[in-house]
Amino acid sequence: MDFGQIIVNGLVLGALYACLAVGFSLVWGVLNVINMLHGSFIVLGGYLAFFAWQSFGVHPLIMLPIVALLLFGIGYLVQFLFINKVVTAPVLTTLTLTFGLDMILYNIMTVYFSATPRRVTLDLGGISFLGVDMPIDRLLGMALALILTGVLFYVMRASRIGRAIVAVRMDRAAAALMGIRVNHVYAITFGIGALMAGAAGVIFAMVFPVTTNLTGMYLGKAFVVCVIGGLGSVPGALVGGLALGLIESISGHFFGPQHSLTIGFLLMLILLVVKPTGLVGKKGYE
């Protein structure tokens, strides 16, 4: 395969990974909670888009905002009802709690959706440019992923709620004194995390087959992207996502695609030990 093709494949995949991981990074950075539900949120988003498309013929582009809003609601409730109560507890508690919630959600999904792989096939054809072939649905997915990530970046910088989230991240107590309702902000943050996961799920359903067995893999990718890029920043997730996409594409070419996840995890372990802040990580969420 041509080297240009490998790079382009990697970048397209990387943009999807960035969108997949940015919500996870937000929740981890702001709430200091590792959200084990993230992979299931992505699969849930993918399934909702698939069933709307198959049963009612709704185009995924129309489903994208609906799924995103729905998952925002679910995320808000999960944080408000459960995680807010233990948000300051040690890592083991929050991690185990989200894992327990994930097992419930995963079980519901396997019972109602089964584990059969399904995919939305849009048949948009492909384009060829300078010897690089690319299906249009992938390019569309990449564009959507980049737009969503960009919107989140803008929201975090410019909007009132974005500033409130940054304030709570910097100093929980001081933010509360300034009249910010911390629990509400936490729930919104978690909701945004779930929203991004759901939207990423819709995009993934347009490009790859969705099955409930993928929850663990998506979660693993989110871990790797966050650690490579650095925690708690939109540019960090973007850099981490693109880096992982390129690494997977290049290593998949040399060692075979079945090893791409191993290599991602190995790199993550090495980076964790050598430079735990990631490539562009910094304190504070911006």
In sequence order, which residues have a C-beta less than 8 Å from that of residue 224 and are 6 or more positions away? 240, 244, 264, 265, 267, 268
Distance CA 156, CA 164 (A): 9
- Residue 159 or residue 213: which is nearer to other proteins going by CB? 213
The reply on whether position 104 binds other proteins by CB under 8 A is: yes
Instruction: Answer positive or negative: Cα dihedral of 243, 135, 205, 59.
Output: positive
Binding residue (CB under 8 A) for other proteins from 59, 62, 73, 108: 108
Please say whether the beta carbons of 102 and 40 come within 8 A: yes
The reply on whether position 112 binds other proteins by CB under 8 A is: no
In sequence order, which residues have a C-beta less than 8 Å from that of residue 158 and are 6 or more positions away? none
Minimal distance, residue 90 CB to other proteins, in Å:
7
- Of 215, 222, 266, give the one whose Cα is nearest residue 101: 215
In which residue are the tokens 């990580």 written?
281
Distance CA 150, CA 144 (A): 10
Binding residue (CB under 8 A) for other proteins from 53, 218, 223, 285: 223
Structure token pair of residue 107: 């079980």
Binding residue (CB under 8 A) for other proteins from 265, 279, 280, 282: 265
The reply on whether position 131 binds other proteins by CB under 8 A is: no
CA 17 to chain centre: 7
Binding residue (CB under 8 A) for other proteins from 4, 126, 150, 276: 276
Please say whether the beta carbons of 50 and 120 come within 8 A: yes
Q: Give the interface segment with other proteins, choosing from 91-99, 115-123, 145-153, 203-211 (CB under 8 A).
A: 91-99
User: Phi and psi dihedrals of 210, rounded to 5?
Assistant: -105, 135
Would you tell me the crossing angle of helices 182-207 and 3-31 to the nearest 10 degrees? 160
- Residue 52 or residue 268: which is nearer to other proteins going by CB? 268
- Residue 111 or residue 173: which is nearer to other proteins going by CB? 111
The reply on whether position 258 binds other proteins by CB under 8 A is: yes
The reply on whether position 155 binds other proteins by CB under 8 A is: no
Minimal distance, residue 172 CB to other proteins, in Å:
17
List binders of other proteins among 188-217 (CB under 8 A).
216
Minimal distance, residue 142 CB to other proteins, in Å:
27
List binders of other proteins among 2-61 (CB under 8 A).
28, 32, 34
DSSP-derived secondary structure for 84-145: GGGTTS-HHHHHHHHHHHHHHHHHHHHHHH-S--B-------EEEETTEEEEHHHHHHHHHH
CA 197 to chain centre: 5
Binding residue (CB under 8 A) for other proteins from 121, 266, 275, 283: 266
Binding pattern for the stretch 71-90 against other proteins, x by CB under 8 A and - elsewhere: -----------x--xx---x
The reply on whether position 136 binds other proteins by CB under 8 A is: no
- Residue 7 or residue 89: which is nearer to other proteins going by CB? 89
List contacts with other proteins (CB under 8 A): 28, 32, 34, 82, 85-86, 90-93, 95-97, 99-104, 106-108, 110-111, 216, 220, 223, 227, 258-259, 261-262, 265-266, 268-269, 272-273, 276
